[in-house]
Every structure is written in structure tokens, then in C-alpha cells.
Amino acid sequence: MSAAPAMYRSKLKPTDVLRVGALGLRTRRVRTGLSTLGVAIGIAAMVGVLGLSASSRQELQTRIRALGTNLLEVEAGQGFGRGTQQLPADAVSMVSRIEPVVAVSSIATVDSTVRRTDLVSEGINSGISVFAADAGLLTTLHATLADGEWLDDATSTYPAVVLGSVAAEKLGIVDVADQLRVRIGDTWFAVIGILNPVAPAEGLDRAAIIGIAAAETYVVGDDIVPERIYVRTEEGAIDAVRSVLPATVNPETPEEVEATRPSDALAAEDAASNAFTSLFLGLGAVALLVGGIGIANVMVIAVIERRNEIGLRRALGATRAHIRRQFLTEAVLLAGAGGVVGVGLGAAVTAIYASTKHWKIVVPPIAIGGGVLAALAIGAIAGLYPAARAARLPPTEALRGT
Amino acid sequence: MNHSPAASMDSNDAGLALELIDIVKEYPGEPPVRALDNVSLEVHNGELTAIVGPSGSGKSTLLHIIGTLDRPSTGIVRVAGIDTSQMSDRQLSGVRSHLIGFVFQSFFLLEGMTAIDNVANGLLYRGRAQADRRDAAAEALRRVGLGQRLTHTPNQMSGGERQRVAIARAIVNRPSIVLADEPTGNLDSRSGGAVMELIRELHAEGRTIVIITHDRELAASLPRRISMLDGSIESIESIESLDDTADTSVGATR
């Protein structure tokens, strides 16, 4: 007779563990939704932060690549108490003599306005500034044209203008084939080209660019002094060039010359956003923890409420382990559902935010996988105590009347 | 104990569905509460037995011990000839899943689950495939006259129907013994009567059924009665005349 019990063994197949675990979720939908919410918010926060930081980093790296790390910018320093300094007129030719310099060009602000018509007053100018640039600017900045052509040696001397992307939009000009003209100062300039957005010099996007000679002739009536010089160097020579730039540009007062590397600013921005990422990840983790506690709480209540069900299942032959597995599975499914919803939310937030900023949408796979896994782990931990409690409940007590 | 040979003959089967020997159940306290005091009884295969007694007589404790949901302080419980006294909690669960069917006063059906799935739960812990379980459940539901209610949920059914679903769940695993705890306690007299009619039919088909009740009138209508009082068996009586028709039908099915 002692051998007989082996025939009578309770078994619960893994698929049935899932089924009974999902039962509580299906029958108490509102509670399932609400208790899932905490974990969902936590996971969404973390996935969103990771997605946004990955997207913004991708964007920054795209911009850094567009800039090139071999671009230097030279400006007159803001001397103490001496007002705005100027660069020497021959600065460009001086810099071009530095051996590893590949390209160099300058721009200068022209104190004038751009208008579609001479019928409006000069005050209404849509915030479009006018720059005088030399013909090498396009190659130095690796900028590209959306339409038309760039200033060449000839058009630099004529009243011809190339518009930045934003400026063109504001003026309502999309096609140079329309042969439109804009009024700069008192002269009509023919629009010969429209730029794509220029990464290294965003100011150019809202600018109308004319040749230096044209600016001197038609707008200023005087010599134009370079205000900012862009220098493209050979890769690897960037630090060497940077160190000699001030003295080359202005041998007399090199301390009044500032040479910066635009990509450095972006790299710094990247580092700063990293710090925020950690902060928000921490906040997400706190939300997740609270969500986990919420699930543990809901499960403890479920175990108390479903005493009779536990008693019934024990009467039907469930072992303690079967009861434990049922409630553990329920907690894991609850949290897992939260994780899936959270990952979806986080990805959606990333997508929405990134697309408003016209970034490429990047949701790191590790955030997706990690988000769901973290939720499952939270569920397992949150479910441990309630499941153990359910399993410990003696059947006779569980069956006692409601 | 006092009627072993004769009773065995009566039940058309020499096997014992249930055997309790000198069961004592004490709850700790000062002084300890003795819920069951040296209870011995036998239920033969195919018998329909009532355990009757007022509340506090120990009949619920007895039900739990017979159903292996609780252990006696001392004494031996044999279900279908198997001694359960040395079994682990897990092994006892195995005995319940294979040998015992329960019917409860308040049905204990799972809300939000169809009748067929509630009945299939009777086979859930046997490790059988869901399709199998549902087939057997549909058959059991047809047996209790609910073939048209397979996909109804408990809240779409009357009390009497719910109890019949619970009875189908108790018989779906073809247990050695069905334990019914006040099966008509939550029902009006009409549906209670229908449930008792069903229980008699199941008995007539050869099933072994023990009904625990405080209702002396209901007990009196059953062929065998074990009366409890203050944790002891007061009397065991069989009324053959009442059971004549049922007994012949048992003979016929076997």
C-alpha cells in the first residue's frame, strides 16, 4: 500500500500555470489596469529617457559629423573694457598660409535688412540678417545648396544673394528659377541660390549672404573687415593649427583672438545631457519601485480576497507549490503587462518628441529588452511574499465561509 | 465497525471507499479542545451516507479529515484502501486530485469562467490536456442535466444550476468518494430537492457519496446515517426499506 500514492500525484502543466496565473488578470480588469500602471509609468520613464538621450545623441553625432571635428572658428575676443575687437583685414590670407589648413573663409555682418519689396519700411525685416561672405565659405563649412548655385568670383561682385534655409522660407522663396529679387539696403539683389541648413553656422540659416565685393559696392560703401573666420584643417593637425591661429591672425595682440572648435560645444552638450539621463533614469527607477510595491500590495489583497478560491484549488488537488506558482505567475504577468505597455509608451514618447525636433528616432534595443525584463523581475520579487502567503494558507481555513 | 461483514455485502462491493480508525482531533488551547473523540467509521464503495449532527458536533472537522484537507491528531484515515497518515502535504494533494470529489454549500465556482471550464478545473491538477479536460467536463455537465449551459458563467445561472455545476466538477475526475458539505444549504427547497434527486441518481449509478448535513429530515431520507454529537458518533443506522429501490439499481449497474 505504501507504493500506491505514487500513482496519485498532482500535476499542473506549465501551460496551465500560465492559464491560472492569467485568470485573475482577466476577471479583474480594472484592478489589473490600475496596478499595471505604476510599473508601466516607471518603465515608460526609463525607456523614454534612454530613447530620448539616444535620439539626441544620434542627432548630436550627426551634427558633429556634419561639422567635422577639424573645423575651427576664429573671432575677435571681447577685450575687457575695450568694446568689440576686430580681426585684421588680411586675416584670411594670413591663415591660409598655415601649412595644414585645407580651407579658410570669412564672413562679416552687414548692417542692413532684406525685404521682398521696397513698399514696406526697413523696420519690417523678419529678423533676417545679411552677411558678406567669400566664395570659399561653402566648401569650408561643407554646406550644401537646396537650389540654385553658390556665389562665385563673378557673382560675388554683382548684386546676387544666396538665402539661408530659414530666410528663404520666411521670404516665401522656394525656387530660384522664379528669378525673384530681394531688396537689401537700396539695391535689388537677384536670388541665385538657397542653402540647406548649415550645421556649423546656424546663423547662416536665417541670413541672406552676398559677396564681400558686392556688399562693399552696393550696401556699405566701405571696406569690409572679416568678423568670423572658418578654418578647415587636416585631420590630426587641429590642435597644432589652433595653437598658432591667434598669433597668425593678429601678431600684435594674439590674446584678442579667440579660436574655438564648434564640435567641442556639441560634445559638451552631449556630456551635459548624459548627466540628465542618469537623473531621469533614477526617477524612473523610483517609479518602478513604487509600481512594484503597488503590485505586491494588490497581490496581498488578492490572496486575502481569493481565500475560497485557494481552498477550492487545494480541495481539487493543488499542491502548495501549485498555489505559489499561480500567484507568482499572476504577479509576473501583471508587471510584465506593465513592462510591455511601458516600453510602448516610452517608445511612443521618444518617437513623438524626436519627430517634433526632426531627429532620427532611436530606441535602444537594450531599453526595450531591459524594460520588459526589469518589469518581469519586479513582478517576480513583488509576487514572492503574496504567493508564499497563499501557499501557506491551510485548506481548511481557506474554505471557511465567506 | 459493528457492521462490517453485512455492510460489505449490502454495498455489492467488498472494497472500502473510506475507513477511519480511532480518529482524535484536538486543537491546542487551555484546556485543549477535542473536536473529534475516537471516531471510527467505514464507507463502502457505492454507499450513500449522511453524516448528520448539530453545529459544533464535529461534523465539519470530520469532513475535512475525510477529505484529507486536515490531519487527525491521532488515528488512521484510509481512502480507497490507502493509508494517508504518513503522507506529505503534496501526496495528500495527489490523493485529493484522484480519489476525492468535493461539493460545497456555497458552490465555490470561479466567477468569469464558463460552466465547462469550472467543471474542467476538477481535472486541472491531474496534468491532463485542456481539450481532454473540456471533453470530460462537457460529459459531466450533460450528466447533471446542464448540457445546454456549457458556456454560461455562474452569474448567468440559478443557485440550483450552480450547485449542479459544482457536482459535475466533483464527479468529473471519477473519484472514489464524493464529499458533499450541506449541498442544499444555500438552496430553496425546490432546487434543493432537485439537487438531492441528482445525488440519488449518481448514487444509483454506483457512486460513493457522503453528505454532511445538520438537516435531520434530509438525513432521514438517505439509506445510511451516521449521527454525530459532541465529537463522537452517536449512532450509525441503515434503513434498508428506504433504500430498497436504490439498492436494486446499484445492483443493476454493477
> What are the φ/ψ torsions at residue B101 (nearest 5 degrees)?
-120, 135
CA A398 to chain centroid, in Å, comes to: 55
Average pLDDT over residues B205-230: 94
Enumerate residues 6+ apart whose C-beta is below 8 A from A347. A47, A48, A51, A363, A368
Query: What pLDDT score does A123 carry?
Result: 59
Residue A398 pLDDT grade (very low, low, confident, very high; cuts 50, 70, 90):
very high
Query: What pLDDT score does B10 carry?
Result: 41
Is the minimum CB–CB distance between A17 and chain B shorter than 8 Å? no
Query: What pLDDT score does A198 carry?
Result: 83
The shortest C-alpha distance from A334 to chain B (Å) reads 18
Element (H, E) at B199: helix B189-204
Query: What pLDDT score does B5 carry?
Result: 40
The count of other CB atoms within 10 Å of the CB of residue A222 is 8
* Higher pLDDT, residue A172 or B173: B173
CA A237 to chain centroid, in Å, comes to: 30
User: Mutating which of B62, B96, B174, B179 best tests the A interface, going by the most A Cβ atoms within 10 A?
Assistant: B96
Task: Say whether pLDDT at A120 is over 80.
Answer: no
Query: What pLDDT score does B49 carry?
Result: 96
Residue of A nearest to B175 (CA): A316
Q: Taking CB atoms and an 8 Å cut-off, how many pairs form between chains A and B?
A: 117
Instruction: For residue A319, list chain B residues with Cβ-Cβ distance below 8 A.
Output: 89-90, 93-94, 125
SS3 of residue A25 by DSSP: helix
pLDDT tens, position by position, B122-177: 999 999 999 999 999 999 999 999 999 999 999 999 999 999 999 999 999 999 99
Residue B56 pLDDT grade (very low, low, confident, very high; cuts 50, 70, 90):
confident
CB contact under 8 A, B126 and A23: no
Is the minimum CB–CB distance between A179 and chain B shorter than 8 Å? no
**Would you list the DSSP string of A70-103?**
TEEEEEE-B-TTS-B----TTHHHHHTTSTTEEE
The count of other CB atoms within 10 Å of the CB of residue B38 is 14
Query: What pLDDT score does B116 carry?
Result: 97
Percent of chain B with pLDDT over 90: 83
* Higher pLDDT, residue B135 or A99: B135
Task: Say whether pLDDT at B194 is over 80.
Answer: yes
**What residue type is assigned to position A174 of the chain?**
V
How large is the greatest C-alpha to C-alpha distance in chain B, in angstroms? 55
Query: What pLDDT score does B74 carry?
Result: 95
Query: Which residue in the set B70, B95, B169 is minimally distant from A396, CB to CB?
Result: B70
Instruction: For residue A402, list chain B residues with Cβ-Cβ distance below 8 A.
Output: 106
CB contact under 8 A, A23 and B113: yes
Strand order in the sheet with B74-79: B33-44, B16-27, B74-79, B82-83
pLDDT tens, position by position, A203-246: 888 899 999 888 888 888 888 888 888 998 888 888 888 888 88
Q: Is A350 exposed, middle or buried (0-12, 13-18, 19+ CB in 10 A)?
A: buried
CB contact under 8 A, B95 and A26: no
The shortest C-alpha distance from B106 to chain A (Å) reads 8
CB of B41 closer than 8 Å to CB of B226: yes
Is the minimum CB–CB distance between A310 and chain B shorter than 8 Å? no
CB contact under 8 A, B69 and A396: yes
Task: Say whether pLDDT at B99 is over 60.
Answer: yes
Q: CA-to-CA distance for A141 and B6, rounded, in angstroms? A: 111
Task: Say whether pLDDT at A86 is over 80.
Answer: no
CB burial readout B93-113, b (16+ within 10 A) else e: bbbbbbbbbbbbbbbbbbeeb
Is the minimum CB–CB distance between A26 and chain B shorter than 8 Å? yes
User: Mutating which of B65, B70, B90, B125 best tests the A interface, going by the most A Cβ atoms within 10 A?
Assistant: B125
E strands, A14-152, are 71-76, 101-110, 114-115, 129-133, 145-148
CB of A335 closer than 8 Å to CB of A375: yes
CB of B15 closer than 8 Å to CB of B7: no
CB contact under 8 A, A394 and B70: yes
Task: Say whether pLDDT at B253 is over 50.
Answer: no
Residue B48 pLDDT grade (very low, low, confident, very high; cuts 50, 70, 90):
very high
The shortest C-alpha distance from B248 to chain A (Å) reads 32
Query: Which residue in the set B105, B127, B129 is minimally distant from A12, CB to CB?
Result: B127
Task: Say whether pLDDT at B14 is over 60.
Answer: no
pTM: 0.76
Sign of the dihedral through C-alpha B99, B136, B213, B15: negative
SS3 of residue B19 by DSSP: strand
pLDDT tens, position by position, A366-387: 999 999 999 999 999 999 999 9
CB contact under 8 A, A402 and B81: no
Residue of A nearest to B112 (CA): A27
* Higher pLDDT, residue A277 or B9: A277
Is the minimum CB–CB distance between A325 and chain B shorter than 8 Å? no
Q: For strand A129-133 and strand A160-163, is the pairing parallel, antiparallel, or unpaired?
A: unpaired
Residue B252 pLDDT grade (very low, low, confident, very high; cuts 50, 70, 90):
very low
Query: What pLDDT score does A89 carry?
Result: 81
Query: What pLDDT score does A226 carry?
Result: 86
